[in-house]
Structure formats: C-alpha cells, structure tokens
C-alpha cells in the first residue's frame, strides 16, 4: 500500500495532514524518512510519525525446504504429515507455501509469510521456470521434446500448455523445464505418450536452486541474495 493511503486510512489523519507530514519528512518507513507519497508500506514495514510508531511491522521469513516423499503440501492435514510439520519455527500459522508439490514429489519447496514475494514467484505472468528431474516407466522418445516445445492440449481446461524444454538424461530420465503449474502438469504431459511418471523431483524455481546439502526433510532460511532474486 502507498504510504499516503496507509496514513489516510488512519482516523487521526486527513489527506491534507498526510501531505504536510510527508513534505516535512516527519514520516519514517523502516527507519528512513520518506516524502514520496507512493513509497510502499508493507505488512512487514515499521512506520512512524515523529518517532511515534504507527505500525511495528514483523519480520519477513523465507525458507527453503527439501520436501520428502509422503508429505502433504498444506498447512494442516488430518491424515498425513505436512511440510510445515518439518519446520521447527515459531508462529508457523503465519507461513504459507509458494508453489506446491504432489504427495510423492520431492525437491525444492519455498515457504514464507510474505504474500507479495510468493505471488511474484508463482504467478504465470512472471514466467519463472520450474525445473524437474523426471523418471518414467517406459523409454522417453525424441518426439517428446518436440511435442513439449509445441505445447500439449489439455481438454479439461481447454488450453494448450506453454512451450516446455526437455533434456534427455537417460533412456527413462530427463530434465523438464516448465513455466506453468497446472494440476499434475508434468504427469499429464508424459501421460500424453501413455508413459507413467514414477519419480519426480523439483530442482529449481527461477534462479533458486535446491541446496545440495539439505537432506530430505531438512530446511534452511534463504539468504538475502536469494530473496532478492525473486
């Protein structure tokens, strides 16, 4: 939200007072005096006027998790362990998942309390590649790469997938890069050739790569550089 709107929404200030406060640089966001009415105020921002705190803010949190098999990409589940159960962190109810994975799919999962950050990561408009290692039941033919690059029609949604890149690694293994996140998309793409996916592992989302030192079920906080990459 713009800082002028944030202040105007408070019952104590009218628009004229807000303009004056900004011109006189009496408003500080995260400890820095601001005068631009368009300056962004987020739920994590500390906002003060004349050293009086109007919003204390809260720390933004960002985690990278190596999701294991048999774990639900949800905040709660009555039958199965969830990815949040793997985190030893306070206030886990504030966290959410940025880009879900199927029950038996493994690999990179990102968890945060920053909704704006996770939207940038997952919304289709950003076209961030999601890269998967795929193992199939049958051999992967050379025609797969051509078909995936052209897009595959999904009748249920009445749409054609965006072009995807396939790199053959072995007779039944490949690396697939997609920019969407349709329901069971990878399995359905290989299902176009009646080839069942028996192993699926997400290596990367955009420029964020799964830390090779993380064993399944382990996690760590993202670095400042990694957070800024999104």
Structural domains of the chain in order of their starting residue, each with its CATH number = 3-55 (3.10.290.10), 62-224 (3.30.2350.10)
Distance CA 171, CA 135 (A): 9
Does the active-site annotation cover 102? yes
Where does residue 203 rank: exposed (0-12), middle (13-18), buried (19+ CB within 10 A)?
middle
pTM surpassing 0.85? no
Q: Which of 51, 85, 91, 102 is catalytic?
A: 102
* CA 94, chain centre distance (Å): 15
Per-residue pLDDT of the chain (230 residues; tens, 9 = 90+): 899 999 999 999 999 999 999 999 999 998 899 999 999 998 888 899 998 999 887 888 999 999 999 999 988 888 999 999 999 998 888 899 998 999 999 999 999 998 888 988 888 778 899 999 999 999 999 999 999 999 999 998 999 999 999 999 999 999 999 999 888 999 999 999 999 999 999 999 999 999 999 999 999 999 999 998 88
């Amino acid at each position: 939200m713009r800082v002028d709107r944030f202040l105007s929404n408070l019952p104590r200030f009218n628009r004229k007072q807000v303009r004056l406060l900004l011109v006189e640089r009496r408003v500080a966001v995260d400890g820095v005096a601001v005068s631009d009415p368009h300056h962004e105020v987020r739920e994590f921002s500390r906002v003060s006027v004349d050293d009086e705190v109007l919003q204390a803010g809260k720390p933004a949190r960002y985690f990278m998790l190596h999701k294991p098999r048999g774990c639900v990409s949800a905040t709660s589940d009555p039958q199965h362990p969830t990815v949040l159960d793997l985190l030893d962190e306070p206030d886990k109810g504030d966290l959410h998942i940025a880009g879900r994975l199927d029950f038996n799919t493994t690999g990179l999962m990102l968890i945060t309390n920053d909704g704006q950050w996770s939207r940038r990561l997952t919304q289709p408009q950003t076209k961030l590649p999601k890269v998967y290692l795929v193992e199939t039941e049958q051999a992967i033919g050379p025609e797969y790469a051509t078909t995936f690059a052209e897009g595959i029609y999904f009748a249920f949604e009445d749409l054609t997938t965006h072009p995807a890149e396939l790199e053959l690694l072995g007779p039944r293994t490949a690396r697939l890069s997609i920019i969407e996140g349709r329901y069971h998309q990878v399995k359905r793409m290989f299902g176009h050739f009646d080839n069942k996916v028996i192993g699926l592992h997400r290596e990367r989302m955009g420029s964020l790569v799964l830390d090779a030192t993380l064993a399944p079920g382990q996690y760590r906080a993202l670095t400042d550089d990694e957070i800024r990459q999104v």
